[in-house]
C-alpha cells in the first residue's frame, strides 16, 4: 500500500465512525477520552449577561482549591482545569448561589459532590436511572449515606420518558442551575431537551451541558436557542456549553 493510500485509509477510518455519530475512543489510553468535533457554529450567540457571567465563572474557578474536591475525589483528574469541569461546577455554585441545582446523571456522584462543595448551593437533586449505590461508572461511587439529607437527594427515573419527565417538570423549572450530563448516546439528550425547553424556568436559569463537542451532541447543541456560549476552553475538553434561560 502506498503512503498516499495508507493516509487515505487512516482518514476514512476516522471519518466513518463520525458519520455514524457514535462515541469513539480518542487517542489516549485513558478513561473516556474521545474524538470531538471542532467547527464554526455561526448560529450561536451569547448575550452581554452570559458573557459577563462566563468571565465571572472563569475568575471564580481559579479560586477553587486544588485539593481533589476537599479529599473526596479519588485522583487529581478532578482538579484538572481547563480540561475537566469539576472546579467550574463549584464556581457556578459560588457565583450563582443557586437555591436548587439539578444534576442530571449521578453516576459515581462527583458532579453532585462538587456542587455541594460550594457553601452557597442550597440543595442539589441528582437524577439517574441507576440508584447511586449500584453506580459503577469507571469506578465505585464517591457518595456516602451521610451526603444525603436536606442538601442532597437522588431521584431514580428515566427523564427521557415523557411521563417520568412530567413528574419532575416543576422541579426542573424551579432550578437555578441544571447540569445535563446524561449518557450522550444519541437518544437520551435528544428526547429530554425538547421536553425541558418547552417549559420556561421560573427565574433566570443556567443550563450547563456536558460533552457538546462529542459527535452525538454536536447537532443538538447547535439547535439550542440563544443566548448560549461554548465554554469548552474553560471547562471539559469534550465540550462545555452554557445556555441562559429566562422565564
Ligand atoms: C456521564 S455519567 C454522569 C457523570 C456525573 N455527572 C459526574 O460528573 O460524575 C452519565 C449518567 O447518566 C445516566 N443515565 C443514562 N440514561 C439516563 C436516563 N435516561 N435518565 C437519567 N440518567 C441516565 C447513566 O446511568 C450515568 O450514570
Q: Which residues pair with 147 in a beta bridge?
A: none
Tell which atom from ligand 1 comes closest to the C-alpha of 130: 25
Can you give the pLDDT at residue 33? 73
In the reported structure, the alpha carbon of residue 193 is separated from the centroid of ligand 1 by a whole-number distance in angstroms of 15
The pLDDT score that the predictor gives to residue 35 is 76
Q: Which residues of 81-105 are buried (b: 16+ CB within 10 A; e: fewer)?
A: bbebbbbbbbbbbbbbebebbbbbb
Distance CA(106)–CA(8), nearest Å, equals 41
Q: Report if pTM > 0.85.
A: yes
Q: Is any ligand 1 atom within 6 A of the Cβ of residue 110?
A: yes
CB 182 within 8 A of CB 195: no
For residue 208, what is the DSSP state? E
Q: With contact defined as beta carbons under 8 Å apart, do 111 and 182 qualify?
A: no
- Which of 102, 106, 136 to mutate to test ligand 1, by most ligand atoms within 8 A of the CB atom? 106
Question: Given this model, what pLDDT does residue 8 score?
Answer: 67
Beta strands in 58-113 (DSSP E): 100-104
The three grid cell numbers given for residue 230, joined into one nine-digit string? 461554548
Residue 59 CA to ligand 1 centre (angstroms)? 28
Rounded Cα gap, residues 78 and 69, in angstroms:
7
Taking the CA of residue 107 as reference, the ligand 1 atom at the shortest distance is 27
Residue 42's pLDDT is 84
* Mutational pocket test of ligand 1: of 128, 157, 163, the residue with most ligand atoms within 8 Å of the beta carbon: 128
Q: 98: which 3 cell numbers?
A: 443557586
Ligand 1 contacts CB of residue 189 (under 6 A): no
Give distance in angstroms: CA of 143 to centre of ligand 1: 15
The CB of 129 under 6 Å from ligand 1? The reply is yes
Q: Are 106 and 130 in contact (CB under 8 A)?
A: yes
For the chain (length 247 residues), average pLDDT per consecutive 10? 68 59 69 73 93 98 97 93 97 98 97 98 97 87 97 97 96 98 95 96 98 92 96 95 98
Using a CB cutoff of 8 Å and minimum separation of 24, what contacts does 76-80 make? 78/110, 78/114
The pLDDT assigned to 34 comes to: 74
**CB of 141 closer than 6 A to ligand 1?**
no
Residue nearest to atom 13 of ligand 1 (CA): 105
Q: Are 221 and 212 in contact (CB under 8 A)?
A: yes
Decide: 210 and 164 in contact? Cβ < 8 Å. Answer: no
Q: What is the pLDDT, as a whole number, of residue 84?
A: 95
**Burial readout 66-78 (b: 16 or more C-beta within 10 A, e: otherwise):** eeebeebbeeeeb
Amino acid at each position: 500500500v502506498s503512503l498516499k493510500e495508507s493516509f487515505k485509509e487512516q482518514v476514512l477510518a476516522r471519518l466513518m465512525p463520525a458519520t455514524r455519530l457514535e462515541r469513539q475512543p480518542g487517542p489516549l489510553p485513558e478513561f473516556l477520552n474521545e474524538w470531538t468535533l471542532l467547527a464554526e457554529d455561526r448560529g450561536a450567540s451569547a448575550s452581554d449577561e452570559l458573557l459577563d457571567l462566563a468571565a465571572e465563572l472563569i475568575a471564580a474557578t481559579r479560586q477553587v482549591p486544588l485539593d481533589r474536591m476537599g479529599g473526596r475525589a479519588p485522583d487529581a483528574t478532578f482538579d484538572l482545569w481547563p480540561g475537566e469541569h469539576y472546579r467550574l461546577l463549584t464556581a457556578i455554585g459560588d457565583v450563582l448561589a443557586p437555591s436548587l441545582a439539578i444534576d442530571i446523571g449521578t453516576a459515581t456522584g462527583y458532579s453532585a459532590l462538587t456542587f455541594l462543595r460550594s457553601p452557597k448551593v442550597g440543595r442539589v437533586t441528582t437524577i439517574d436511572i441507576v440508584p447511586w449505590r449500584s453506580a459503577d461508572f469507571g469506578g465505585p461511587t464517591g457518595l456516602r449515606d451521610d451526603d444525603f439529607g436536606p442538601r442532597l437527594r437522588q431521584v431514580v427515573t428515566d427523564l427521557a420518558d415523557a411521563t417520568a419527565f412530567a413528574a419532575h417538570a416543576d422541579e426542573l423549572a424551579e432550578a437555578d442551575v441544571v447540569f445535563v450530563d446524561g449518557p450522550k448516546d444519541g437518544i437520551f439528550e435528544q428526547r429530554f431537551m425538547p421536553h425541558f425547553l418547552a417549559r420556561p424556568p421560573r427565574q433566570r436559569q443556567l443550563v450547563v451541558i456536558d460533552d457538546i463537542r462529542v459527535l452525538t451532541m454536536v447537532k443538538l447543541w447547535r439547535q439550542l436557542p440563544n443566548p448560549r456560549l461554548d465554554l469548552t476552553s474553560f471547562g471539559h475538553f469534550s465540550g462545555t456549553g452554557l445556555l441562559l434561560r429566562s422565564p
